[in-house]
Amino acid sequence: MILEKKSLQLILMVVAAAAVFMDYLDTSIVSIALPAITADFGTGSAVSAWVMTGYLLALASMLLVFGKLADRTGRYREIFITGFVLFTVASFLCGISSSILMLILCRVFQGASAAMMVGTATMLVMLHLPENRKGTAAGLLATLGGAALAFGPGLGGVIAEYLSWHWVFFINIPVGIIGIIGALAVIPKAEKLPTEKKPFDYLGAFLLAATLLVFLAGLEIGNSEGWSIPVLLLILAAPVLGFLFLRREMKHEDPVLPANILKNKIVIWAAVSCLFITIVYLGSIYLLPFYLTGPLGMGSALAGIIMLIPPVTMMIMGVPAGNLTNTVGCKKLCNISAVVGTVASVVLAAAVLMQNWVLLFAGLLLLGATLGVNEGPTIRRITIHCTEDTQGSAGSLTYTVMNVGSVVGIAAYSVIASAASGSTEFFTISGIAAACIFGAVCAVISYITSRLAKDTCLA
């Protein structure tokens, strides 16, 4: 059912974007509050880090599962609203947690709830908006995601210092309540539910979750605690589980990741391109503060302000890039994004080596433009080449790729910077520059894979 009234279309877009906003916010806002959480519970930083890690692992491992459930049952409205309700409840439970274990478990619950919202958010706008509004909606999702990344750390710092870390979670509650009311009011009920009942692929769902879980957990643990033999074995288990998952999917009559997506070269190449551009963006966002506060000797507050440049740029460009998909086309925008990402990485490497402020600011602007131009068109590019009955899986695939790219980018940039610096204790100028050059290589791969995705529409 297509919503005809523009007011209802706008509310639907805002509600769907609010789900993405809350997910991105709870990724960025909590990081700055971790020292306060660590001090309050008297735990080590390695334990407190699981407040972040637990959320990200639950989110990434469950996105595709809930996307599939939405496609399978047709009850995407119910899954989305339930996710909003559970996320709001989980936020309250996180805020009242009396131990670090309770907080970590509640964050895992919150991450799974976020997967229900985010896994169906794209599906909502693609099914209920007219064609000329879908690009705008995809851009709005990217814009509010950028806003959350931009202002989350600053907001979290203010809340943790002047209120308490508990309010970092309580702040979700009013947004959640408004989102729930908006969703109930505007999201149409499914006109027709699927009638064919096929057995759910529980083993496939388990293998998918296990593959993502061991891979991402291995990268997170390795990046924070060192690349020991058990950590490397954990990471190496991922391709084995991934192979078993793909083998299972090709044989099951109703796979978790539909065969028409797995065999769709346009979707797969577009997803790979998105993966590499996300590696570039998040890897740079993670590493550059070490350059600002290390070799440049800058204070944390000023470094934080400077690092607002990429997400603010991304936020500004999100909606315009989404609108351009109707005229310029998704593929061209994704190609341009990869070229900009390559230039951004080279400029940042030069800025680090030369300690040149002009190049640094230029590189940060280009870095923000890279993801700002890419995210909305990628969301639409993938969903538009998938059938209506797989929109949940398509949207979930997009956000799964972005989450995996985020973790891989942080780990890869850290490993390369450490190796080039000759130390795991600090990053040198040459080490940071080497990681930026690696980013340029990733952006080139993103461009090549984007070109390989031979779009059949909005090319």
Express each pLDDT in 187-215 by its tens digit. Answer: 888 766 666 667 778 888 888 888 888 88
Asked, for residue 196, whether it belongs to a domain, the answer is: no
Q: What is the mean pLDDT of residues 87-97?
A: 94
303 shares its domain with 326:
yes
Range of the domain at 433: 261-459
Same domain? For 352 and 385 the reply is yes
CA–CA separation, 94 and 91 (whole Å): 5
Amino acid at 431: G
Distance from C-alpha of 177 to C-alpha of 175, rounded to nearest angstrom? 6
Taking residues 287-292, report their average pLDDT.
85
Residue 446: which of 348, 374, 362, 396 has the closest Cα?
A: 374
Q: For the domain that residue 176 is a member of, what is the CATH number?
A: 1.20.1250.20
Counting residues of the chain whose pLDDT is more than 70, the rounded percentage is 96
132/27 same-domain check: yes
Say if residue 285 is in the same domain as residue 378: yes
Q: Are residues 248 and 275 in the same domain?
A: no
Same domain, 223 and 278: no
Predicted TM-score of the model (pTM)? 0.83
Number of domains in the chain: 3
Classify burial at 97, counting beta carbons within 10 Å of its beta carbon; exposed 0-12, middle 13-18, buried 19 or more: buried
Assign 248 to helix, strand or coil: helix
Total residue length of the chain: 459
What is the dihedral sign for C-alpha 68, 74, 76, 81?
negative
Window from 4-8, 45-49, 52-56, 216-220 with minimum mean pLDDT: 45-49
253 and 275 in one domain? no
Indicate the pLDDT class of residue 103, thresholds 50, 70 and 90.
very high
Angle between helix axes 100-128 and 50-73 (nearest 10 degrees) is 40
Q: Is residue 198 in a domain?
A: no
Question: What rounded mean pLDDT belongs to the chain?
Answer: 85
Q: Of 188, 212, 235, which one is at a domain's C-terminal end?
A: 188
Q: What is the pLDDT of residue 194?
A: 64
Residue 193 lies in a domain: no
Mean pLDDT computed over 330-355: 94
